[in-house]
Amino acid sequence: MLSEKILTPLLRFVTRDAFQLEKSGATSLPGPKLDRRYMLYIHIPFCDVLCPYCSFNRFAYKEPAARTYFVSLRDEMRMTAALGYKFQSLYFGGGTPTILLDELITTIDLAKELFGITDISCETNPNQLEPALAERLAGRVQRMSVGVQSFDNALLHKVSRLERFGDGEQILKRIHSVEGMFQSLNVDIIFNFPGQTREVLLRDIELASGSGANQITFYPLMSPSSVVKSLKQTVGVVTYDCEYEDYQLILEKMAGEFEQTTGWAFSRKNGSLIDEYIVDTEEYVGIGSGAFSYLDGTIYVNTFSLKSYTEENSGWAEAGDGIEIV
């Protein structure tokens, strides 16, 4: 669409200077303010497969590096606790937080001990979603989110997920196998893939709605500059000609059994209506390589270098006063 061709370059231009990072000499974040409430985000950057559409900070999984990372992660958690921070809510993102289940459980238990956390959200991939994982996490994690992206085998193959994460039928069985084991089970679906037909999207909506998940989140495929090349080589050039129509179709098909709780998320009307994301605090602390913190009008960005993070466990960059993540 013409508006997209104009709007995206314009937004990139006007935000370019605002998000220029400055290397900070700080060795820790500023301490908490007594009248503020904060959320904690922890980033686990390892993945079995590096999906071509993902622009988050992530690395190919190697067990020794991942175990070293978790040790450094818990060291940073202790540093944050020493500053006086307390959190009620914690979100594990990635990457794939469940890539090493024993390390994740140790990290969850330490987070509860250090910060008094009571509500935990966690992401996973379909190949790890099984009763054995759910049984170990059910008492620790309230909200589990599984990155399905699509049930269409041809599309899964294009984005290198079919061989590692299973086909659409296998994924659906895995979701059903953990039904009811978490307070909230969310399924992520991506729309606006190049070549994704209306029939494919309709089938994704139908299967996700009948999967047993009590929340479904639909994301439009985005093409930040860091993944334009990989997307072009796998699924093709991303356009926005059908994005609006796709979104209207989602709204139409989700009405009835589900109700819209955010711009992208839909929860079952007879369910717990616990959103996957905890958004009742304006400020948050991010822990881990590439994690962002937003505190008192300033964004702090932890080092994206895995080597620097595990060796130094410091290196916040500062992104200027008055910048908000939206």
pLDDT, one tens digit per residue, over 110-132 is 999 999 999 999 999 999 999 99
Instruction: Give the CA diameter of the chain.
Output: 54
> Minimal CA–CA distance to 191: which of 146, 128, 226, 241?
241
Higher pLDDT, 17 or 67: 67
Higher pLDDT, 318 or 180: 180
Q: Characterize the bridge pairing of strands 258-260 and 265-268.
A: antiparallel
Is the pLDDT at 322 greater than 90? The verdict is no
Q: Please, which pLDDT band fits residue 85 given cuts at 50, 70 and 90?
A: very high
266-283 burial, b if ≥16 CB within 10 A, otherwise e?
Answer: bbbeebeebbbbbeeeee
Half-sphere exposure of 276 toward its Cβ, with a 13 Å CA cutoff? 27
Beta strands in 221-325 (DSSP E): 258-260, 265-268, 283-287, 292-295, 298-301, 317-321
Q: Please, which pLDDT band fits residue 22 given cuts at 50, 70 and 90?
A: low
55 in a domain, yes or no? Answer: yes
What are the distances in angstroms from CA 15 to CA 55, 115, 291, 319, 323? 18, 34, 19, 12, 10
> Could you count the other beta carbons within 10 Å of the beta carbon of residue 22?
8
What number of residues does the chain have? 326
The whole-number pLDDT of residue 108 equals 98
Q: Characterize the bridge pairing of strands 292-295 and 298-301.
A: antiparallel
The whole-number pLDDT of residue 33 equals 94
Mean pLDDT, range 150-172, rounded to an integer: 95
Half-sphere exposure of 208 toward its Cβ, with a 13 Å CA cutoff? 33
The whole-number pLDDT of residue 304 equals 92
DSSP 31: P
CATH of the domain at 107: 3.80.30.20
61 in a domain, yes or no? Answer: yes
11 in a domain, yes or no? Answer: no
Report the percentage of the chain scoring pLDDT > 70: 84
> Minimal CA–CA distance to 137: which of 104, 113, 111?
104
The whole-number pLDDT of residue 17 equals 58
1 in a domain, yes or no? Answer: no
Is the pLDDT at 72 greater than 50? The verdict is yes
Mean pLDDT, range 37-52, rounded to an integer: 94
The whole-number pLDDT of residue 279 equals 56
Higher pLDDT, 21 or 118: 118
Out of 49-58, 91-100, 110-119, least confident range:
49-58
Is the pLDDT at 296 greater than 70? The verdict is yes
The whole-number pLDDT of residue 111 equals 98
40 in a domain, yes or no? Answer: yes
The whole-number pLDDT of residue 217 equals 96
Rounded Cα–Cα distance for residues 173 and 48 (Å): 20
155 in a domain, yes or no? Answer: yes
Is the pLDDT at 50 greater than 80? The verdict is yes
Total tally of structural domains belonging to the chain: 1
Long-range contacts made by residues 228-231, C-beta under 8 angstroms, separation at least 24? 230/52, 230/53, 231/52, 231/53, 231/194
**Nearest 10 degrees: CA dihedral of 292, 165, 261, 224?**
50
Contact 148, 139 (CB under 8 A): no
Contact 299, 311 (CB under 8 A): no
201 in a domain, yes or no? Answer: yes
Q: What is the CA radius of gyration of the chain?
A: 20
> Minimal CA–CA distance to 51: which of 305, 223, 290, 230?
230
Mean pLDDT, range 188-199, rounded to an integer: 93
Is the pLDDT at 4 greater than 90? The verdict is no
* Domain membership of residue 40 as a residue range: 35-321
pTM of the model: 0.88
Using DSSP, state whether 152 is helix, strand or coil: coil
Enclosing H/E stretch for 147: strand 143-149
Q: Characterize the bridge pairing of strands 59-60 and 89-94.
A: unpaired
What mean pLDDT is reported for the chain? 87
263 in a domain, yes or no? Answer: yes
Tokens read off for 232: 């072009």
The whole-number pLDDT of residue 25 equals 61
- At residue 203, what are phi and psi to the nearest 5 degrees? -65, -40
Q: For 200-235, write each residue's pLDDT tens digit.
A: 999 999 999 999 999 999 999 887 788 888 888 888
